[in-house]
Amino acid sequence: MSAESPLRRARFYKTILLLCLACFLLASCKKPGATQSSSSGPRLKWQYKSSAYGLSHPAIGSDGTIYVGTNNRGLQAISSDGKFLWRSTIGAAGVPVAADDGNIYFAMPQGLIYGIDHDGKVVWQPGYGLIGFATPPALSSGEVLYYLNITSDVWAFRTNNTKDLWSLETFREGFLKPDVLPGEARTSTHGGGAPAVGHDGTLYVARQNFLHGISSRGELQWTTELSPGTLGPIALDGNDTVYVGDDRGVLYAVDSSGTRKWRFDSGLIGAPVIDTEGTLYFSDGGAMFALNPDSSIKWRYAQPKPPGSRFFTPPVLAADGTLYVGSEFALIAIKADGTLKWTLRVPTPTSAPTIAPDGTILFACGYGELCAVEDAGSPLMQSAWPKQFHDLANTSSALTHTN
């Protein structure tokens, strides 16, 4: 053997080692994983960190501007690429509702209501002290706002007038006004649901254990005492069937005349979302359900345990049938057939997701942050009720296009 043989062998082994290392790195880069993003998979697109806390479910204006309410720094406007634009000087703001004229409406927990223009200036302030609000208003046909306060009173305002259009108030002992609603006028008794506007303009209101149908003129058309518990948010299908859950683990379906159609014994977070076929999707926290319109189960999906065994938010429906829902430190995508598409690690979602027109998935997250996730680019589904508060503007109105 020549004197050069040991050197050749060393070079040979070094070359083999480098080739193996290169193959390993290449395989690692291409290795698929449910919680990893890649050039063709989901990724955290941007993350806006606010100086405020308690960011609300976002609304998206017609120009793509994103609006969020906060617990201590008013309404904030954020660009579609996650840059801060402005904030109002009002100290607190609930979930915003964006109108076609560019104004944004919201209610304060303390009972005042405001309209803000697209530059952050107050343009509408009725000045009523309406006790307090826990939910946003519904916006009908772009000009009438319906509010439900924490003592279950219903108020209607035109956006071009600071005087109320009409009101229906909850019964109070010794209160002689004829237009009263049943129940008790105690704070925090109405539940967690915003009013909802049907296809013919009827206002549907879930308050305490009652469900109401109210005309656009403020005439009480019917009342159904639906549950022994407290009712939550409403969703409407294409026939104005009302879907609403209570705090005792029951989902109800009620037709537009107030007649109960069926009940499904499962708790739910928020209101269901509804696809183009009338299928309902919702979570009870432990699992996601898909129900046919007759209440039969289409599928049920539960996360592996652990991690991510609980769902924290209502879902949102993309046009391609994907459901996005928040979980602990994760955003989860579920296919239309009830199988897992992916799980992406993100700061814990604290609001229901929404989907911008370009397919970006937006949600409040962490502690005072707004997260934007990029997936396949599918926009919001054009269906009867594809997201919480119905549409990108949060109008809770079937008269509004979803995007």
**Residue 401 is assigned to a structural domain of this protein:** no
Q: How far is CA 403 from CA 174, 195, 278, in A?
A: 47, 20, 19
Instruction: Tell me the two tokens of residue 211.
Output: 């469900």
DSSP labels, 237-270: -TT--EEEEETTS-EEEE-TTS-EEEEE----SS
Sign of CA dihedral 126, 128, 129, 133: negative
Of the candidates 349, 314, 315, 319, the one whose C-alpha atom is nearest the C-alpha of residue 331 is 349
Would you state the pLDDT for residue 176? Answer: 60
Sheet arrangement for strand 43-49: 43-49, 369-374, 361-365, 354-355
Quote the CA–CA distance of 107 and 96 in Å, as a whole number: 8
Would you state the pLDDT for residue 18? Answer: 42
Strands (E), 9-94: 43-49, 59-60, 66-69, 75-78, 84-87
Q: How far is CA 365 from CA 306, 348, 386, in A?
A: 21, 5, 21
- Give tens-digit pLDDT for 181-199: 999 887 666 666 899 999 9
Report percent pLDDT > 90 for the chain.
Answer: 76
**Residue 63 is assigned to a structural domain of this protein:** yes
- Which residues in the chain show pLDDT less than 70? 1-40, 175-178, 187-192, 306-309
Number of structural domains found in the chain: 1
Boundaries of domain holding 113: 42-374
Quote the CA–CA distance of 68 and 86 in Å, as a whole number: 11
Of the candidates 365, 361, 255, 270, the one whose C-alpha atom is nearest the C-alpha of residue 318 is 361
CATH number, residue 206: 2.130.10.10
Would you state the pLDDT for residue 258? Answer: 98
**Residue 379 is assigned to a structural domain of this protein:** no
Instruction: Tell me the two tokens of residue 65.
Output: 């501007």
Would you state the pLDDT for residue 352? Answer: 98
Instruction: Tell me the two tokens of residue 336.
Output: 């239309």
Angle at 398 between CA 140 and CA 107, to 5 degrees: 45
Instruction: Tell me the two tokens of residue 3.
Output: 């004197």
**Residue 330 is assigned to a structural domain of this protein:** yes
**Residue 389 is assigned to a structural domain of this protein:** no
Report percent pLDDT > 70 for the chain.
Answer: 86
Would you state the pLDDT for residue 24? Answer: 37
pTM of the predicted model over 0.95: no
Would you state the pLDDT for residue 28? Answer: 35
**Residue 79 is assigned to a structural domain of this protein:** yes
Quote the CA–CA distance of 236 and 3 in Å, as a whole number: 86
Would you state the pLDDT for residue 27? Answer: 38
Would you state the pLDDT for residue 401? Answer: 81
**Residue 10 is assigned to a structural domain of this protein:** no
**Residue 395 is assigned to a structural domain of this protein:** no
- Cβ-count burial of 25 within 10 angstroms (0-12 exposed, 13-18 middle, 19+ buried)? exposed
Chain centroid to CA 187: 24
